[in-house]
Structure 1
């Protein structure tokens, strides 16, 4: 994608100087046509479930051209997917008529019981299946200028060779988010990075700094700050619907993957097509075992951020905007049994936030693994279900009442009930737009910064990652100095604030 002012004479200036009407190419091309010069060229890095799903969403956009994919896994059919054969079904739906039986060799081999309570279908992933989807999509559109999709094992080679790419989408495991995003931004590529933004607090600071210095458009695919629910809750709380907020409680049904386990003793052979050392990347070296990937890496300290990092990035992005939060001053967790290398099966994390302006200091409590806050009295039958097994929710407690909603604040209700604080009727079948994606693509083209850009999300990320450190040190209160980026009362906690990368993978 080239800016309008590229070159000695802009298109606008040329039209004025020539003195005649130039009909835009998109008019000649018909409805929905986007001229090549207005398309964002994009490379997708990390082709697991999230990588495949979001890349297909990007393919469907006429203003995006996917030109390259990258993954250290050549291809396999062992990625968790949310529905039987869901990834292949999505690909066929994207490709359209005539492709109903496309990719039979990529069909799900079945399902797997990951934990006692969670069974998942297994789907396709890796660079070869991703490349095939991209090429099939553009071939189905009969694009005469299409030259194929490049495929890479190593993101460093991609960034070196694909010099003209405008943007990258990063969807690797958490421990790779920052190294790849930083490398891309330093080459002045715009970045859409999967949540959580980073694996450590130090990385979040660097991501924000480099994004600011390079002036790149950055975002997470998280729409909470832009959602209708966030807007209504913000307005209601600002209007005094529940008085001054003193507490917030947020609970998740995660983890769906194994946590509270020890490192496997067995060393297994590395599957053909997987570069295990590159998958480990900046993390400490260890022998290969199926217990680490795909999907299940979330529960391991070295690779993921547990339930809090997986889901807190959504709800906290909205919370920070609604309550105008700054980083917390303290964190403390209690949990089920602690393990040396994995997050606990269940935990409660308390984060203390300082007062700001007219907002009082407050405590935000996170619950996972089936734990929840006490159920308040007087709730409707519908809202009582928020506290049932497997359900998720959020509850704001003020000095005059409470506000209860789904995990991301959806369908909020105020107690005591008031006709003043009711959601307007919603059009039947209406779905919220993906505002985060829209904002990011607009920013890539020169528009305003997204609400989930790296600078705004760095303190959000800092908050829940401090909670992740508290989970590792359950029972200890951590006093946090955000200015110095240090825990001031427990030195051993600081080793997790900005841990070093493995030699050879420094950024």
Structure 2
């Protein structure tokens, strides 16, 4: 390890130790329960990903399932069989009418209701675990981040890859200068869910072939409360192009396509390793935006200013058919998805489970730094432990909120159709009118979380 690397690592460890000490102390002060106390937890959304969250968290011997909520009666009945003692709800607004016996809430609904299910918990002083992406839009991300800070509770966004050893090792390599100063990062994913041409749709079943919102109505399944599923979105007839998941996430009213979904995992690595904050300029590329449906293929370039001694950096995102030029030219291994850090002393390529220093010949004798990012027992157990005053979470809303906000801004630039200049403090695009893409302008009557 070079002298520069050793110095960088000592500096990082010094800051990390101080931050960990403060965070751990804060977690201890804010802990609701002693390690031996039972945690009463409500679960909103108990099918699919929500069912997995319920199973994992409820397997903790110190957890009591206090309440179950789902607009899908089949999901609710299945969960209630396993936890018959829990109160049952179809409407989470009714669940929040009685919270005295609840210590924490797990939110695993569709993306467009995350903020609406999370905000009441924060206002009631409950710890929250929320699935990714944290919110449906930029405005909600900022509001949830602030509410979590004001509440002083333990929060975690469900980004399981963040807890994995591979991401930890990549962060250590980047932050100790293994490839020098990084000024360029490229992240790409192969998923092609979204809207493309009818020709492309025939060749790929994941691509939405519907070109416009269906005008005809279908009868919802008898187990689904369609009105509650719509939540704050404007009323529209049920159709099977929206339900079941993951169909809904391709539609702007309910999700934000691949960017906000997989961006929560893949952009996380660069955001964490390079200590990114808010981009000041974002430009997106792709086919003309559709008013209803997110794209299958697009790309975006985020520009970040210097952060202390860290230099300015551009972070480019690619999804579907879009790939970095160096990938197209076979200048790096042809991984279907990955993040490539380009530094002044080399490159680092990573995916979820592995990473590679490039050129390999130049790093054959490289000795990685001793691990210093703490091991994680997993996102769920980490959250439960932090509630009990044991350590801290790795994806608290103070981190996950700004990450989600940045991801959403890529879609905002794409939908506006031009580069946008972002004033993070004012939460405003300064060079064009983009307000309609920053927030839900007209939530349906009866749906409010502010």
TM-score (norm 1): 0.73
- Select 1:467's aligned residue among 402, 410, 413: 410
Q: CA 1:466–1:312 in 2, change beyond 3 Å: closer, same or farther?
A: same
Partner of 1:21: none
Give 1:258 shift.
4.2
Aligned to 1:402: 347
Check the 8 A contact 1:396/1:403 in 2, yes or no. yes
Take 1:274 and 1:223, find their aligned partners in 2: how far apart are those partners?
29
Report what 1:54 is aligned to.
53
1:130 aligns with 2:79: yes
Would you say 1:278 and 2:240 are equivalent positions? no
Aligned length: 401
Cα distance, 1:337 vs structure 2: 4.5
Q: Which residue, 121, 125, 140 being the options, matches 1:184?
A: 121
1:504 offset after TM fit, Å? 1.1
In structure 2, C-alpha distance between the alignment counterparts of 1:158 and 1:405, rounded to whole Å = 42
CA distance in 1, matches of 2:327, 2:179: 14
Contact 2:139 2:439 in 1 (8 A): yes
Structure 2: runs of 5+ lacking an equivalent: 1-27, 194-205, 370-374
Residues 306 and 52 of structure 1: CA distance in aligned 2, closer, same or farther (over 3 Å): same
Deviation at 1:374, TM superposition (A): 2.7
Distance 1:471 1:131, change over 3 A: farther
Alignment CA distance shift 1:336-1:443 (3 Å)? same
1:489 matched to 2:431: yes
Cα distance, 1:376 vs. partner?
5.4
- 2:309 matched to 1:358? yes
Aligned counterparts of 1:254 and 1:328: Cα–Cα separation in 2: 24
Residues 1-20 of structure 1 aligned to structure 2 (within 5 Å): none
Q: What is the distance in 2 between the residues matched to 1:214 and 1:129?
A: 33
Against the structure 1 CA distance between its residues 302 and 379, is the aligned structure 2 distance closer, same or farther, given a 3 Å change threshold? closer
Instruction: Measure, in 1, the Cα distance between the counterparts of 2:62 and 2:312.
Output: 44
Match of 1:288 in 2: 238
- Change in CA separation of 1:309 and 1:370 when aligned onto 2, cut-off 3 Å: same
Query: In the aligned structure 2, how far is the partner of 1:269 from the partner of 1:231?
Result: 48
Alpha carbons of 1:273 and 1:162: their partners in 2 closer, same or farther (altered >3 Å)? farther
Name 2:337's counterpart in structure 1: 392
Equivalences for 1:413-492 in 2 at 5 Å?
Answer: 413-417=356-360, 418-421=363-366, 434-474=377-417, 476-491=418-433
Query: Is the 2:56–2:380 contact (alpha carbons within 8 Å) kept by the matching residues of 1?
Result: no
1:411 is matched with 354
Structure 1 residue 237: deviation in Å? 2.3
Q: What residue is the counterpart of 2:173 in the other structure?
A: 236
Is 2:219 aligned against 1:269? yes
Q: What is the distance in 2 between the residues matched to 1:455 and 1:59?
A: 25
Q: Is the 8 A contact 2:29 2:389 kept in 1?
A: no
Distance 2:158 2:299 in 1: 26
1:209 to 146, 150, 160: 146
**Distance of 2:30 and 2:49 partners within structure 1:** 35
Q: Deviation per CA, 1:41-70: give whole Å up to 9, x if none.
A: 111111231011111111222122222210
Unaligned regions of 5+ residues in structure 1, if any? 12-33, 76-125, 136-147, 425-431
For normalisation by structure 2, the TM-score amounts to 0.82
CA–CA separation in structure 1 for the residues paired with 2:105 and 2:43: 6
For 1:272-292, what per-residue CA distance to the aligned partner results, in whole angstroms no more than 9, with x for missing partners? 132212111111111111111
Sort the Cα spacing of 1:372 and 1:421 in 2 relative to 1 into closer, same or farther, 3 A: farther
Structure 1 partner of 2:276: 325
What is the match of residue 115 of structure 1?
none
CA contact (8 A) 2:30 2:389 kept: no
C-alpha contact (below 8 Å) 1:39/1:63 kept by paired residues: yes
Measure how far apart 1:163 and its partner are.
2.5
Please give the root-mean-square deviation of Cα atoms over the aligned residues, in Å: 2.8
Shift of 1:225: 4.5
Structure 1 residues 496 and 376: alpha-carbon distance in aligned structure 2, compared to 1, 3 A threshold: closer
**Cα distance in 2, alignment partners of residues 132 and 5 from structure 1:** 33
SS at 2:170's partner residue?
helix
Q: Paired residue for 2:445?
A: 503
Q: Check conservation: 1:255, 1:306, Cα contact below 8 A.
A: no
Structure-2 separation of matches of 1:298 and 1:254: 13
Kindly name which structure, 1 or 2, has the bigger radius of gyration based on alpha carbons: 1
Contact 1:343/1:472, CA 8 A, preserved across alignment? no
Deviations 1:346-372 (A, max 9, x none): 111111111112221111111111321
Q: Distance in 2 between matches of 1:448 and 1:300?
A: 38
What is the deviation of 1:209?
1.4
Question: Which residue number corresponds to residue 63 of structure 2?
Answer: 64
1:487 Cα shift?
Answer: 0.6
Residues 384-406 of structure 1, C-alpha deviations (whole Å, 9 max, x = no match) = 241xxxx2111111223211111
Q: How far apart in 2 are the matches of 1:339 and 1:297?
A: 15
Structure 1 residues 5 and 385: CA distance shift in structure 2, 3 A: closer
Distance 2:284 2:256 in 1: 15
